[in-house]
Structure 1
């Protein structure tokens, strides 16, 4: 039985995704300025929400009370006494990226800006416009995700304490816009069936063991642990590396609509084979230690 590293989520089906329909331009920070009918133009104050996501509090006399994020959505909180009819999100090219009607009496409006089917926002400076009849008020937003790989650790069997061959990858968004981790693959992994990196028009199994699909989105200030269904450090007697005090160097690749993030790692393998399936010809090693190497970064 595999140890519970976090809440368990069962997956019975594989998910296959093509890279081409997902890619948008790359990104990396939330500046706010208010202008328009209110007559204010001072910057807002950026804070950390209780959930770890960054939020912005505009000037006190603005119709915008707070800007934050929830999953794939930009969340706009309006002043209680507002008379806003519609919100428009204007892209860096000056065209309308998304818009939302504001129901009478509503003070919270969510605008989706990250999409799993394509059409995710491109990183850059946006203008949020609140329309009230013939007047409007605007606020600038710099939406730039900055995704970083902060840790890679082996998964261990809870019963015997030996490695399962799978790897936990912890990812953090330190930028100012949300993104979506649609795949994590491994280059130069010893296991021929290790999770693949989607290249060009290729497709790959992008199913995660965890987290749940709704938690694949990364809001600013969010850190999350990912685990693919298939093993990575699984070898046999014919491989170039062994489980007897050997090392393997490979690269973790986190793929998002805003670009790929790569992190080279070194795995120290020891203890012999962890044979939990007598019929298999490849097995994980009993003991695995992971070291993050220099040279990683954004490959967008």
Structure 2
């Protein structure tokens, strides 16, 4: 996007970048939020080619206005939409698709899941919680790990630190893979769903909670358990509904 003295306006990662032409006769750039309030202002030094605004992942999604000023006078005003658009591309279980998991022992990854997420929007977001609700072996609600309503627990694993991470930032245009931390596909006696001597089928929802706009992204899946005489020794098959 370009207009007059502003040659380019774009979101890069979690930053809004405004590029200024060499000939521009302006001394300030203001960023106005969708509600009309000032988000921030930047002085433009003589010869400066760029100013930036760190929007992070706690901004209000919507239409933003960029105003270039000379003194008190508006030289040019333009707008852009800053809005994430997240979708779940794929999910699977470590025991079934170990090649999609992080590099670890098969025992550790077998009970975890991977989730591929894409942001087709124009703004960044942060995924703050990964939930499995329904007929999984060890669900995220009171039927299992019981962290669905706990703001301090994300259920997201970070292979780099080998620990649970608070949030994962996803930039506009990015596709990334999340991993579960709370073993949603672990069989425990008396919790969730266990194997039985006959086949079983059910449904569950994969849910992502996000920071921008406090949105929830969910996708339903069918789940099938093969017959087994042992509570923890059946095969699991999942597919999108």
TM range (shorter): 0.7 to 0.9
1:87 to 29, 34, 44: 29
Q: Is the 8 A contact 1:190 1:248 kept in 2?
A: no
Distance 1:104 1:195 in 2: 57
Distance 1:254 1:133 in 2: 45
Aligned length: 220
Distance 2:208 2:56 in 1: 17
CA distance 1:227–1:133, shift in 2 (3 Å): same
Q: Is the 8 A contact 2:156 2:166 kept in 1?
A: no
Distance 1:108 1:211 in 2: 36
1:126 to 64, 72, 88: 64
Counterparts of 1:1-300 in structure 2, within 5 Å, are: 57-59=1-3, 62-115=4-57, 120-135=58-73, 136-156=75-95, 164-188=110-134, 189-191=136-138, 192-194=143-145, 196-198=147-149, 202-206=150-154, 208-210=156-158, 216-238=168-190, 240-242=193-195, 246-257=200-211, 258=213, 259-270=215-226, 287-293=235-241
Q: Is the 8 A contact 1:163 1:288 kept in 2?
A: no
Deviation, structure 1 residue 209:
2.0
Deviation, structure 1 residue 85:
2.7
The unaligned stretches of length 5 or more in structure 2 are 99-103
Deviation, structure 1 residue 170:
1.3
Deviation, structure 1 residue 110:
2.5
Deviation, structure 1 residue 243:
7.3
Note the aligned Cα RMSD (angstroms). 3.4
CA deviation digits over 1:208-262, x for unaligned, max 9? 3237779922222211111132211112354544177544421111111221111
Give TM-score scaled by structure 1 length.
0.61
State the structure with bigger RCO (CA 8 A, min sep 6), 1 or 2. 1
